[in-house]
């Protein structure tokens, strides 16, 4: 089976300018995703889809392929990740290259490692699922959420008010690191998530959303702690 790792790195970022190539603990943050994919040894192709020549240059410096620049249609604020991936697969088809498996890796995912990608690919191939996504357990049970109603705090789910946290079912969310999907199923559904998507559970300490500068600083602090263990 042939597989391609696609790192989606759009140039525009309003909250953190040039976020995808901003220096993170000594090198452009996108470098971590590229290097992890290359070192994993599980992909026939590792490429970056971008609309930015500056990002393309840096991506190539770290070993990724950038065979084309993303189109205007997949570079605007309304284009979805699925739109970007579909364009990549079509452009490669025109080049005479087709793949069985696609892995979408986000460019701001420094906690992705070669080992993690290798383990995830092995788990996916040994399953009967169509796709795999990285998930992390909520740090606090959402079933005991509070809301503010007319200036007063109350439980959103009163039936859970007196239940112990350990007695509530664990709930997970997408941790925004990577997805693996069967290409035929992706093309049929135009989605990386299907009715048969398996979880790849990531520890909470290896997950950090990076939406603003405060998130960035927290992510760097986490990364330094993890790498100094």
Q: Give Cα 205 distance to the centre of its chain.
A: 16
Looking at residue 77, its pLDDT comes to: 84
Looking at residue 13, its pLDDT comes to: 79
Q: Mark the ranges of the chain whose per-residue pLDDT is less than 70.
A: none
Looking at residue 142, its pLDDT comes to: 96
What CATH number is given for 3-134+174-227 in this structure?
3.90.550.10
Looking at residue 179, its pLDDT comes to: 98
Looking at residue 12, its pLDDT comes to: 79
Q: Would you give the end-to-end CA distance of the chain in angstroms?
A: 36
- Three state DSSP letters for the chain: CCEEEEEECCCCCCCCCCHHHCEECCEEHHHHHHHHHHHHCCCCEEEEECCCHHHHHHHHHCCCECCCCCCCCCCCCCCCHHHHHHHHHHHHHHCCCCCCEEEEECCCCCCCCHHHHHHHHHHHHCCCCCEEEEEEECCCCHHHCEEEECCEEEECCHHHCCCCHHHCCCCEEEEEEEEEEEHHHHHHHCCCCCCCEEEEECCHHHCCCCCCHHHHHHHHHHHHHHHCC
Q: Give Cα 150 distance to the centre of its chain.
A: 38
pTM metric for this prediction: 0.94
Looking at residue 1, its pLDDT comes to: 78
Looking at residue 31, its pLDDT comes to: 98
């Amino acid at each position: 089976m042939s597989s391609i790792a696609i790192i989606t790195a759009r140039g525009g970022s309003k909250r953190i300018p040039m976020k995808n190539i901003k220096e993170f603990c000594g090198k452009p943050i996108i470098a971590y995703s590229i290097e992890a994919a290359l070192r994993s040894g599980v992909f026939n192709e590792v490429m970056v889809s971008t609309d930015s020549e500056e990002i393309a240059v840096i991506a190539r410096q770290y070993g990724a392929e950038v065979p084309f620049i993303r189109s205007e249609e997949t570079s605007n604020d309304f284009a979805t990740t699925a739109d970007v991936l579909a364009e990549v697969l079509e452009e490669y088809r025109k080049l005479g290259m087709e793949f069985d498996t696609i892995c979408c890796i986000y460019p701001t995912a420094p906690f992705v490692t070669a080992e993690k990608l290798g383990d995830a690919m092995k788990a996916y191939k040994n399953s009967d699922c169509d796709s795999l996504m990285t998930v992390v357990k909520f740090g606090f049970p959402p079933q005991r959420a509070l809301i503010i109603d007319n200036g007063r705090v109350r439980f959103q789910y009163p039936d859970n008010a007196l239940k112990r946290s350990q007695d509530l079912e664990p709930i997970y969310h997408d941790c925004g690191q990577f997805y693996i999907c069967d290409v035929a199923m992706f093309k049929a559904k135009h989605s990386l998530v299907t009715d048969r998507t398996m979880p790849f559970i990531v520890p909470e300490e290896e997950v950090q959303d990076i939406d603003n500068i405060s998130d960035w600083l927290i992510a760097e602090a986490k990364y330094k702690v993890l790498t100094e263990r």
